[in-house]
Structure formats: structure tokens, C-alpha cells
Structure 1
Amino acid sequence: MSKEIKIAIIEDDENLRFLVAHRLSGEGYQVIECGNGEEAEALILNEQPDIVLLDWMLPGKQGSEICTSLREKGFEKIIIMMTAKAQDVDKIDAYQFGVSDYVTKPFNMDVLVALLENKVNFIVSSNKTDVNKFGDMEHIPNIHSLVKDGKKIELTILENRILLYFLQNVNKVIKREELMMVVWGYNSDVNTRTLDMHIVRLRKKIEDNPDTPHYLQTVRGIGYRFVAE
């Protein structure tokens, strides 16, 4: 299955690019690579990879510029941004640049492979977009969107990850630490206040009354629970 998946690695650090390419080739993926921002765009448009691993900082052209340009030219495949700091993720508005997801450097190679496998399962399992329903809302994770009362509400990458995890674990109490690990990853240097801030923003988008939330409930001293009824 994965042997039919082509992944583009756009990274100017030659050592890291080699390590990622070697590991992904070993996992059975077809790999193409490039270390220059200017050349990357042409390579991606010509080769049409299923997944693009795109560095945030590149010589010639920044990752955000490449992503924006690719989307404008009709490239609709998955683009995963590789960024140096967890805080930078707040700057990567998914709907602004068209980023599908992100991974924070330095990353654990097993974590990267797991992230890619998750994306591959999505590609293989359906050509249609997955939709999660709760209340009178629909969450469409692949395009970072929520449809409420017929209106489309854009979610940031982090809000999208948080909501998706809750919808995969409905009615379970999720500890703050677990949620932070899922959302920001192994090298997270964010604190619980940052998480709580994103929860507040997400509540404003999904709750009729964010001050007394129906769906995204706080479990005092532990974390949160998502009630879908």
C-alpha cells in the first residue's frame, strides 16, 4: 500500500534530508527530495507527490510562500510543514497558507512515520473527505473546517488537532498532558496556559455559550472531556 505513495522532502539541511529520505525509503515510500525553495515548487508540480514534507525556513523561498503558491496553482495534496519551534505553529494559519499539518523539529523519526501513516490511511481509505458530526455541526478535519448552521468556520491547525482528538475520544476524560503531547508533540515547550488559551478559542467557535460549555467541558484539576450528545 505505502509503496504507491510518493513523498517529497523539501529540506535544506542535507543530513536531516538524508536521514528522513533513508527512513521513508525503508518504510516503502517513493521519495523525491530537494533542498532549495525555488526549485521545490517546480519539482512538486511536476512530480505531484501524495505528501509534501516542507521546511518552514528555506533558501530561495520560504515554505509558507511555496505552500501558498502551490495551492494557488491547484495542488491539493497533503502538505506537512516542518518547523523549528512549537510556538511557530501559531504563525502557520492552515487556511492562510494551505498547510495540512505540521511536525516540530527536532522530531522523533518514529513520530514522523506515525504521522505519515495516519495521512496515508486517509488517502487510501477514501477519496472523499471524512466528516465528524456532533450536535448540529460537522467537523471536516482535512480542510480544517467546521460547518455550523450552514456556515463554514475555519479552524487553525492546532484547533483542528484538538477537536479531532476530542471527537476520537468522546466522553473520555483527557488529561492536559496527554492533549499537549498529541497536539504539540514530543518536543513541546508550551505550557498549560497556552493549551487553555486554544481551548477558549475553540469553545468560541463550537459553543452557543462558551462560558458554560456544553461540548468541551473542563474537568477540574485533570483536563477536559468532550460530550457529543
Structure 2
Amino acid sequence: MQRNSKIAVVEDDENLRFLVVHRLKSEGYTTVETGSGGDAVELVLKENPEIVLLDWMLPAMQGSEVCKTLREKGYDGLVIMMTAKAQDLDKIDAYNFGVSDYVTKPFNMDVLVALLDSKVKFLVNHDKHEISRFGDMEHHPPHIHSIVKNGKKIELTILENRILLYFLKNVNKVISRDDLMLEVWGYNSDVNTRTLDMHIVRLRKKIEENPDRPEYLQTIRGVGYKFNA
């Protein structure tokens, strides 16, 4: 695992920021940090880290505004939002302001490191500007949260984007519901299969010509799903 990547930690809780930075340094990551949303944009643009760990609730400027500003100024690294409230996740999906992923507080440090390791591994093994193509559609880099279909941009929510990314990395493989839920929602999630199926239905409406008879995202009865490309 290549852990010499730089991570910016933007968190106003000094104790939590200290713990996260200390752990990341012990894992071999380079870190920069700030507790202010107002300072975060300047810090990230100056240091250009591969990943930004960004708190949702910040003084001066909320995390959503920090992320939006960074994207407008051309930052194309990964932004992982740290949030404590479930309703904030709904806002993240709704606003679609350029977050790559999120982690829910309180989080286990081992799980956070595992998440970051997987992101770094993806960055090392993939061109961040790589475009995946299937049918008449293009899926753009992970933080963009969109597909282009017949020249028209279609927005995806964070969860839809994460589901599609996982399928695109596992084309023509049968994926169980349990594996998919673990990948999409994480280790400590209490999400049920009905919630997963609901997101699959919404994703199908965006990528399938006939969502009731899907060509790409097919159900494997009793097991899970398979993505045909």
C-alpha cells in the first residue's frame, strides 16, 4: 500500500483533529490541517492534497460551501465529508456539490484508515480522469457524480455514484446484496436490503432505456445483481 499521499484534515474539533492527524501520520500519510472553513480553501489549493477530509459543520464556512468553492476553483482531488447527522447525508445527496464520499461520525479509526487506503489504492491504479463507457453512456471521474447519456448530463447522488462505480469495477460479475451493501454503506451500517433495492431502482431509471426490463443492471434472483456491459 502506498501511503505517502497527502491528506488535508479540516475539522474544528481540536481533539478529533489531533487524533485523526496522529493516526494518519502513524500510517505513513503526510498531513496538513486547519480548523477553519475559511482557511480550508486556501490551504487545499496551496498544498494540493490527494484527499481532503472535510467536516460538515465548520465555523465561518460550512463544509458544503468549502467543497463547492474548491470545485469551482479547479480542485479535482477526493473530498470525503465527515458528518454526524443522518439528515446531512440527505442534504449532501440533494445538493450534489462535489463530495466524493462521506464517513459518518463517530467513526472507528481503523475503518477510516481502511477507507482512505482503498481511495489511495484507486488513485494509484486508475487515472483520475478516466472515463468509463457503456452503451451510449459515459461515467465521468468519481467525484463528478454524473453520467453523460446521448450528450446529456444526468446527475447521480453519492450513493448512486458509489453503486455504479462498484459495478463498473466488477463488470459481468454476480454481486451479492451483502457485498454491495458493505461496499456502499460500510461496516457499521444497519441498512436493509429494501433500501439497497430502492437505490437500484432509482439508478436504473437513469441508465436504462426500459427500467422494468434492464439491459445493464440485472437482478440475479436470490443472490443479488450483475452489471452487463
Moved more, 12-21 or 79-88: 79-88
Matches within 5 A, 1:1-229: 1-3=2-4, 5-85=5-85, 88-93=88-93, 96-125=96-125, 129-142=129-142, 143-228=144-229
Distance 2:188 2:85 in 1: 9
TM-score of the aligned structures, taking structure 2 as reference length: 0.87
Return closer, same or farther for 1:113/1:9 CA change in 2, 3 Å cut-off. Answer: same
Deviation digits for residues 178-214 of structure 1, max 9, x if unmatched?
A: 2111111122233322222211110011111001112
State the SS of the aligned residue for 1:92.
helix
**2:96–2:157 contact (8 Å) kept in structure 1:** no
Distance 2:55 2:109 in 1: 15
Q: Quote how far apart the aligned CAs of 1:10 are.
A: 0.8
**2:37–2:66 contact (8 Å) kept in structure 1:** yes
Distance 1:140 1:17 in 2: 32
Distance 1:129 1:169 in 2: 19
TM-score of the aligned structures, taking structure 1 as reference length: 0.87
**2:7–2:52 contact (8 Å) kept in structure 1:** yes
State the SS of the aligned residue for 2:44.
helix
Distance 1:225 1:44 in 2: 38
**1:86–1:190 contact (8 Å) kept in structure 2:** no
**2:38–2:60 contact (8 Å) kept in structure 1:** yes
Distance 2:94 2:121 in 1: 21
Distance 1:171 1:154 in 2: 24
Distance 1:48 1:166 in 2: 29
Identity across the alignment (%): 72
Distance 2:156 2:222 in 1: 27
Amino acid paired to 1:214: E
Distance 1:188 1:124 in 2: 28
Q: Quote how far apart the aligned CAs of 1:171 are.
A: 2.8
Q: Over the residues paired in the alignment, what is the CA RMSD in angstroms? A: 2.3
Return closer, same or farther for 1:217/1:125 CA change in 2, 3 Å cut-off. Answer: closer
**1:94–1:144 contact (8 Å) kept in structure 2:** no
**2:10–2:55 contact (8 Å) kept in structure 1:** yes
Amino acid paired to 1:41: V
Q: Quote how far apart the aligned CAs of 1:163 are.
A: 0.8
